[in-house]
Amino acid sequence: IMQTLKGVRHLMTSATMKQAVSEFNMPVPWGEIRGKVWGPDHGRPILCLHGWADNCGTFNTLIPLLPKEWKYVAVDMAGHGLSSHRPPGVFYSFPAYVADIRRVIGALQWKRFSIIGHSMGGNVAGMFSALYPEMVESVVLLDSYGFLPTDAKELHTVIRQGLEGMLEFEKKKDEKKEKVYTYENALMRLLAANPSLSEQSAHILLERGLAQVEGGVVFTRDFRINLKNVVRDTLPSLHYFTIITGLLHNLSNSPDRAEEGFEKMFSEPQQKTLTSTLLQGYKDQSGMVVNVPGDHHVHLNTPETVAQIVTDFLQEEAPSHSTSEVLHLAHLNTCGAAHGNVILLNLPII
């Protein structure tokens, strides 16, 4: 098994319960994938994927509230946290992240597992589940649509922007010096860029998001993650929807949508048409929708808001190992400060 676990320490939860946390380290052709591990070696396997520009610390407050007998592996995706940056000239894309996850699963020797993915990590989870449905038991998507569709008429513009952005970055890379911050200034920058983060949550993300250098600290993430993703897709194939079954259930006390959070990223009419079509596709296949209070980082800021929902769903949909066993996709979308929603979808084995 291509992994080493080191640096075992204990994490105190709000309930003052201790839970062992170990470091995950796996070699890849360009360096290493790092992460954290909670739970016993033979516990039910759960892979945790963080959002864009975050790191695996985003699950530090949620995992201690989930069942202790399960095994959780949260990874820093390439270019994030303590994981290696991709080689020069290489783009960051969802298919590349899916390949990384496939490497991790191979190293862990997991045959079947569940995924909890936040934001970008949820989109990677959606693509992975569509490509490897026989490997996935359940998926919980935190503030994510499971896919990131682009209007077909905009594909050429977006791809060109991504290509030109990379070329411009490569021209100026040697001219720009890496900016060194004090810890306090780095904290202020992170909070300014992520208004959905509480200050405590920002401190958690900075544990793996900063590196000490002479004169202060630098951010560990690769600047290239800010460039446009050049590998795009239009709305997912109807095949993704036709294999989905389940029950629709809305637990919201209010139908209002908040103005902040992930939904705000898709505020243009064309974008809203794409996301509405995507969500309707889930609902047409009887997906379950559960509204919850929170914002884009609710799972990190106030994990008790979603912990029981996640636990109940994963426990209820635990694999039965029968011939009629189904895969389950849960979509937890916390769009803004007022209400978000949880969409529970089932995918039968192919």
SS3 annotation, 74-136:
EECCCCCCCCCCCCCCCCCCHHHHHHHHHHHHHHHCCCCEEEEEECHHHHHHHHHHHHCHHHE
Q: Name the least confident of 91-100, 120-129, 310-319, 328-337.
A: 328-337
Is pLDDT of 167 > 70? Answer: yes
Q: Are 149 and 158 in contact (CB under 8 A)?
A: no
For the stretch 108-113, contacts whose Cβ atoms lie closer than 8 Å and that sit 24 or more positions apart, written own/partner, are 108/1, 108/3, 108/45, 108/73, 109/1, 110/45, 110/47, 110/135, 111/135, 112/45, 112/136, 112/137, 112/319, 113/45, 113/46, 113/47, 113/137
pLDDT band at 231 (very low <50, low <70, confident <90, very high): confident
Q: Residue 233 burial (CB < 10 Å; 0-12/13-18/19+)?
A: middle
- The pLDDT of residue 279: 66
Number of C-beta neighbours around residue 112 at 10 A:
17
Q: How far apart are CA 326 and CA 52, in angstroms?
A: 30
Mean pLDDT score of the chain, rounded to an integer? Answer: 78
Is pLDDT of 328 > 60? Answer: no
Q: What is the CATH number of domain 4-149+234-348?
A: 3.40.50.1820
Q: Are 162 and 91 in contact (CB under 8 A)?
A: yes
Q: Which residue has the higher pLDDT, 330 or 348?
A: 330
Is pLDDT of 3 > 60? Answer: no
Q: Name the least confident of 65-69, 160-164, 186-190, 257-261.
A: 257-261
Is pLDDT of 266 > 70? Answer: no
Tell me the domain boundaries of the chain.
Answer: 4-149+234-348, 155-226
- The pLDDT of residue 123: 87
Catalytic one among 83, 114, 119, 201?
A: 119
pLDDT band at 13 (very low <50, low <70, confident <90, very high): very low
Is pLDDT of 145 > 80? Answer: no
Q: Mean pLDDT across the stretch 211-221?
A: 97
Which helix (H) or strand (E) covers residue 34, if one does? strand 31-38
Residue 159: closest CA among 216, 213, 227: 227
- Report CA 268 to chain centroid distance, whole Å: 23
DSSP for 133-178 reads GGGEEEEEEES--SS----GGGHHHHHHHHHHHHHHHHHHTTTSPP
∠ CA 20-24-27, nearest 5°, is 165
SS3 348: strand
Is pLDDT of 340 > 50? Answer: no
- Enumerate residues 6+ apart whose C-beta is below 8 A from 197: 190, 191, 205, 297, 300, 301
Q: How far apart are CA 333 and CA 289, in angstroms?
A: 9
- The pLDDT of residue 270: 61
Q: What is the dihedral of CA 130, 344, 75, 81, to 10 degrees?
A: 110
Is pLDDT of 35 > 60? Answer: yes
**How far apart, in Å, do the first and last CA atoms of the chain sit?**
28
Is pLDDT of 264 > 50? Answer: yes
Helices first, then strands: H and E counts in the chain: 9, 12
Number of C-beta neighbours around residue 230 at 10 A:
16
- The pLDDT of residue 232: 74
Q: Does the global pTM surpass 0.85?
A: no
Is pLDDT of 151 > 70? Answer: yes
Q: How far apart are CA 188 and CA 203, in angstroms?
A: 10
Q: Mean pLDDT across the stretch 338-348?
A: 42
Is pLDDT of 69 > 90? Answer: yes
Q: Specify the residue for token string 């319960």.
A: 17
pLDDT band at 143 (very low <50, low <70, confident <90, very high): confident
Q: Are 103 and 78 in contact (CB under 8 A)?
A: no
Is pLDDT of 11 > 50? Answer: no
pLDDT band at 173 (very low <50, low <70, confident <90, very high): confident
Question: For the chain, what percent of residues have pLDDT higher than 70?
Answer: 69
Express each pLDDT in 78-90 by its tens digit: 999 999 999 999 9
To the query of whether residue 83 is one of the catalytic residues in this protein, the response is: no
Which helix (H) or strand (E) covers residue 185, if one does? helix 183-193
